[in-house]
Amino acid sequence: MSDPRPIGLFDSGVGGLTVLREVVRRLPDESTIYLGDNGRAPYGTRSDDEVRRFSTECLDELARRDVKAIVVACNTSTSVALPDLRRRYDVPILGVVRPGATAAALATRTRRVGVIATPATIRSHAYFQAIKDENPFVEVYEHATPELVPLVEAGKLRGQEVDDAVRRSLAPLMGSRAADGEWVFPLPSDARIDTLLLACTHYPLLSDAIVAAAGDGVAVIDSASATASVLAELLAVNELRAPVGGRPLHLQLTTGDVERFRSTAAILFGAEFASVEPVVVPAAA
């Protein structure tokens, strides 16, 4: 059996496009509908009640469009709202926390993992618990980095402002380095992480700056490719895969500025997904 209906993907903004990119690469026959709630981003500094309400309104929109499965490609929404969302809809719903946690637990050699995320995600301790579920002996160091999502939503992906913000954000986990590369306050070797998990789908868009700030010897992990692999398994097990050799359709929706969204999407997809449409969800009207 096969199912040609699209896969729905949802994020608070443009960050989930990194997950969409991996889904399209991993599942080239599948159609997709992506909804970015840019008009109300960032979610990470909002209350849990707001995150749950906004997430529900966006998934209601995807459900109205008859998607066969939904990827909540937003770490904050996954951390705060996923159980409520799964109870509300009768389609499979996949979050990004568990795949990312599994990838980080497998990657670490010293069993010391740093997690950077939005304040709401860190407040939930979802990644701490998920990594501990994978390997109870891994030490997990969580740190909120609220500067980073607004940069991505503003289309600022590289440059001195980005480099400075990333260094400031990582300093509590990595120590701090001066412009000449020397450590200003190096952490002792037995406290340094060897794996850094980007627990927000916006952060891979800043990967050049993050990798440079983390330095050699630190594996930088994001959940996009792991999530796409889990999605592929979910579709196969539930006989929801699209027919092979079809012509997949891809629709991108945003509650925010269409041109700003399109410019960021073009960085990831070129002209492939040139069409971006505005959408209004109830509280964003």
Whether pLDDT at 163 is above 80: yes
Whether pLDDT at 210 is above 70: yes
Domains of the chain: 7-95+225-284 (3.40.50.1860), 98-223 (3.40.50.1860)
Ranges 85-99, 168-182, 232-246: which has the least confidence: 168-182
> Residue 220 phi/psi, 5° resolution?
-100, 120
- For the purposes of burial, counting CB atoms within 10 Å of the CB of 103, is it exposed (0-12), middle (13-18) or buried (19 or more)? buried
Distance of alpha carbon 255 from alpha carbon 188, whole angstroms? 46
- Pick the catalytic residue from 74, 197, 230, 231: 74
- Pick the catalytic residue from 14, 196, 200, 265: 200
Whether pLDDT at 183 is above 60: no
User: Is residue 74 annotated as part of the catalytic site, yes or no?
Assistant: yes
Ranges 41-50, 78-87, 245-254, 274-283: which has the least confidence: 274-283
Contacts 24+ apart (CB under 8 A), 231-235: 231/7, 231/23, 231/26, 231/27, 231/69, 231/71, 231/94, 232/26, 232/27, 234/69, 234/92, 234/94, 235/7, 235/27, 235/30, 235/69
> Residue 9 phi/psi, 5° resolution?
-130, 140
Compute CA distances 7 → 82, 161, 173, 240, whole Å: 17, 36, 36, 10
Whether residue 201 contacts residue 75, with contact meaning beta carbons closer than 8 Å, is answered with yes
pLDDT at position 178 is 54
Distance of alpha carbon 13 from alpha carbon 35, whole angstroms? 8
How much of the chain exceeds pLDDT 70, in percent? 93
